[in-house]
Structure 1
Amino acid sequence: MPHQYTFDFPTTIQFGQGVVAYLGPHLLEQGLSHPLLVTDEVVATLPFFQKLIRNLDQQGVKADVYSELHKNPVKSDVLHGDQVYKECGCDCVVGIGGGVALDVARAIVLRVYHRRDLFDYDDLEGGSVLVTGRVPYFVTIPTTAGTGSEVGRSAIIAEDDTRKKRILFSPKLLARQVFADPELTVDLPAFITAATGMDALTHNIEAFLAKNYHPMCEGIALEGMRLIAAAIEKAVAAPDLQVRADMLLGSLMGAVAFQKGLGVVHSLAHPLSSLLDTHHGLANAVNLPYGMEFNYSGFEQKFDQMASSMGLGSGQGSRLSEYLMELNRRLGLPTKLREIGVGNEHLKKLSELAVMDFAHPNNPKPVTQEDFLMLYQKAL
């Protein structure tokens, strides 16, 4: 071993049916009683959320809610949330929802005591070294099995005008406590279950292939793939609590694993969200088979390992791209970009944005703007 490495793993996770009920007692144990609950407008109307607020109130915890978020979060969402936090006199932040709510919640956690321009903290420009002050106590509660943002240390927030995505990162932004309750995902619509599930699968796949060295993440990613591949079709068609739990675990594992890096698929997907406001999980799902076809040559052994984890059998890595395409079809997801509103007129701009994206430098092989254009054309 010619090099030395430092490995890091995330926070305390309380996992299981009904664990969301422990939020109030947990906050009170920390001496906290006035959380800002950051969620989206849909989750804010759900019965479990209203019940949670009532329970918190009965326990002496006064919760304020911030839910005015864009489908793909922008800087103004964060600044407005910070204003609500200050005006309401909150003492902690609880992110409840999918990737959007959790990213905005995490960015608000940064903003509360770090008062430079928000994008001065952009990690891609070295801004993470500026995250030196304290941050509010932060709890996350996922309601989808997709992004795994509940165990992340970064938030992806776009500029309001250009929609260019910025990444805010610091170990300080890691949730101090996660309540991962599969019951909260039971009522997800089939399409959202499919799209977020393929997002989680993409995280595990790209983390496993990423060129950085982190063997523990690779082991986690393989098990995450196994769980999701075995559960996702049933989770979409005929869900029960066990498959929901397996999907939630697979999502958590993907987010732990992708500290190793992501790759070409995310760089194909991010511009679709920026330019066309495409759901991130859906963008990943459509591009995943094409990105894996691009990556196969030279990494056959790793593809064999992934195929085996996903139940395709031994030495079947060459079938992986075909399997992922067919999986999208069985889940009722699109397999072509034209099905989600992409036209030839978008491809040049998409490829320009993709080559500037932060994910593909960790892809196992280099990706040029011409490669991105070719992949978009193939996927169209």
Structure 2
Amino acid sequence: MVVNRFYQKKNFGFDRYISSLSLIFSFIKMDIRQKFNFSFPTTIRFGVGVISELPDYLKQNQLKRPLLVTDPIVRELGFFKNIVKELSQSGLSVEVFSDVHKNPVKTDVLKGKELYQSTDRDTIIGIGGGVGLDVARAIALSINHHRDLFDYDDLIGGDKYVTEPIPHFITVPTTSGTGSEVGRSAIISENESKKKRILFAPTLMAKIVFADPELTMDLPSFVTAATGMDALTHNIEAYLSKNWNPMCSGIALEGIKLIGESIETATLKPDLLSRSKMLMASMMGAIAFQKGLGIVHSLAHPLSSLLDTHHGLANAINLPHGLEFNYEGFEDRYEQMGLMIGLKQGEGKNFINYINDLNKKLGLPAKLSEIGVKNEHIDTLASLAIADFCHPNNPKPVTEADFKSIYEKAQ
């Protein structure tokens, strides 16, 4: 009887979400094969093996011709090929689009739209990390919206033009970083300038997320570390954001705790428990940062635009410096974050040292010079950073001179 109750699938609404997390992960320690349903902010099917439910889900929703959107690396991995195989063996007509850049640009989206239309697809499934999921979401937007893609940029009020329905949209995360699977926006760059644009609307949220920790097991240690630090940065910056949203703050703190418990193991000696915690914490960071991000992301975005730096790596290097900038006046928040990752009462200042040490343990570089940043880049990076859309939500104001000083310290 106990075993039967344990294996019963459970449904959690928002009112039970946060209070259920400790219970959920104590269950995972008992049996990693348990699966869960969540309903915040969209339907999330979470657990080892849930990806096997995708063919039946499509059939139940009378969907027969999915377009799978991913990146060139994921396309060649065994689990992706197995997804395609299982969908095809279930009698579904599958097309795959993976012609995307590491930092996706507008033409990537337009190519995907053309394939969707020319092959008469009826649903879009984004599979991968931030790249595949952002491109998939942008393609979904473009199918029934025919203005120039960047007319829908949220920063210029473009969300008002998002008036038509989008195709049935499903997300399948394969990394624990951006949390794009639960998001309502896509970041796409201009082809020439590499300026990042935000496409946003509530209707761009996936109908369902299949979050299967097993799909993250093939990630190499470096990618696990970089994407994991991205997830940690999301939770930290969401918690520090000047905007008031206690629900997001609570989720961010729990996300920090889960990452503190699992990122080293997930990177250096991965198992399903650590990968499960990281995948959950990644989604929590993406949910929490609707409260806002901050200075670290404004430091990181120009590195991706100018030097094509991996976003998670850019965040990891800049995170200690952003935390140092924000510390004075917000000591109480650092105390709380320190407690969540295991520091003692009164050791909040050591949270910054903890992040520095964590980067070292994960084998990530500590300086910008180690990833190709040169002194002559700094002025350009600072001008791009001050124009970025994240730092207005920082707990304290930032000037271009501040950005330049931080880049010089990080160099």
Instruction: State the TM-score, normalizing by the size of structure 2.
Output: 0.90
Counterpart mapping for 1:84-99 below 5 A: 84-99=115-130
User: In 2, Cα distance between the equivalents of 1:40 and 1:365?
Assistant: 37
Q: Secondary structure at the match of 1:96?
A: strand
1:377 aligns with 2:408: yes
2:235 to 199, 204, 212: 204
Q: Secondary structure at the match of 1:20?
A: helix
Counterpart mapping for 1:62-101 below 5 A: 62-101=93-132
1:152 aligns with 2:213: no
Q: What are structure 2's unaligned runs of at least 5 residues? A: 1-38
1:185 aligns with 2:212: no
| Contact 1:306–1:317 (Cα < 8 Å) also in 2 | yes
Q: Which residue of 2 aligns with 1:37?
A: 68
Post-superposition shift, 1:294?
Answer: 0.3
1:125 to 153, 156, 160: 156
Q: Secondary structure at the match of 2:349?
A: helix
Deviations 1:181-211 (A, max 9, x none): 0000011100000000000000000000111
Deviations 1:115-152 (A, max 9, x none): 00000000000001110111001000000010100000
1:103 aligns with 2:140: no
Q: Which residue of 2 aligns with 1:5?
A: none
Task: Output the aligned Cα RMSD.
Answer: 0.9
| Contact 1:148–1:252 (Cα < 8 Å) also in 2 | yes
User: In 2, Cα distance between the equivalents of 1:358 and 1:26?
Assistant: 37
User: In 2, Cα distance between the equivalents of 1:63 and 1:100?
Assistant: 20
Amino acid aligned to 1:368: T
| Contact 1:16–1:180 (Cα < 8 Å) also in 2 | yes
Divergent runs of 4+, >3 A: none
1:316 aligns with 2:333: no
User: In 2, Cα distance between the equivalents of 1:237 and 1:52?
Assistant: 27
Q: Which residue of 2 aligns with 1:287?
A: 318
Amino acid aligned to 1:313: K
1:237 aligns with 2:254: no
Post-superposition shift, 1:315?
Answer: 2.1
Deviations 1:254-307 (A, max 9, x none): 011001100000000000000000000000000000000000000010110011
Q: Which residue of 1 aligns with 2:334?
A: 303
Count of residues in correspondence between the two structures: 373
Amino acid aligned to 1:366: P
1:161 aligns with 2:192: yes
User: In 2, Cα distance between the equivalents of 1:123 and 1:210?
Assistant: 19
User: In 1, Cα distance between the equivalents of 2:360 and 2:386?
Assistant: 28
Deviations 1:143-165 (A, max 9, x none): 00101000000000000000000
Amino acid aligned to 1:181: D
Q: Secondary structure at the match of 2:284?
A: helix
Q: What are structure 1's unaligned runs of at least 5 residues? A: 1-7
2:203 to 164, 169, 172: 172
Amino acid aligned to 1:31: Q
Q: Which residue of 2 aligns with 1:18?
A: 49
User: In 2, Cα distance between the equivalents of 1:314 and 1:26?
Assistant: 48
1:257 aligns with 2:297: no
2:371 to 323, 334, 340: 340
| Contact 1:75–1:157 (Cα < 8 Å) also in 2 | yes
Q: Which residue of 2 aligns with 1:57?
A: 88
User: In 2, Cα distance between the equivalents of 1:189 and 1:142?
Assistant: 16
| Contact 1:308–1:315 (Cα < 8 Å) also in 2 | no
User: In 1, Cα distance between the equivalents of 2:115 and 2:344?
Assistant: 53
* Structure possessing the higher relative contact order (Cα contacts under 8 Å, 6 or more residues apart): 1
Amino acid aligned to 2:346: G
User: In 2, Cα distance between the equivalents of 1:136 and 1:313?
Assistant: 50
User: In 2, Cα distance between the equivalents of 1:214 and 1:317?
Assistant: 22
Counterpart mapping for 1:207-218 below 5 A: 207-218=238-249
Higher deviation after alignment, 308-317 or 180-189 = 308-317
Instruction: State the TM-score, normalizing by the size of structure 1.
Output: 0.97
Higher deviation after alignment, 69-78 or 22-31 = 22-31
Q: Which residue of 1 aligns with 2:5?
A: none
Amino acid aligned to 2:147: R
Amino acid aligned to 1:325: N
Post-superposition shift, 1:220?
Answer: 0.5
1:354 aligns with 2:392: no
Q: Secondary structure at the match of 2:321?
A: helix
User: In 2, Cα distance between the equivalents of 1:204 and 1:68?
Assistant: 31
Q: Secondary structure at the match of 2:68?
A: strand
Q: Secondary structure at the match of 2:72?
A: coil
Post-superposition shift, 1:31?
Answer: 1.2
User: In 2, Cα distance between the equivalents of 1:34 and 1:213?
Assistant: 43
Q: Secondary structure at the match of 1:135?
A: coil
Q: Secondary structure at the match of 1:60?
A: coil
Amino acid aligned to 2:370: E
Amino acid aligned to 1:13: I
User: In 2, Cα distance between the equivalents of 1:101 and 1:304?
Assistant: 36
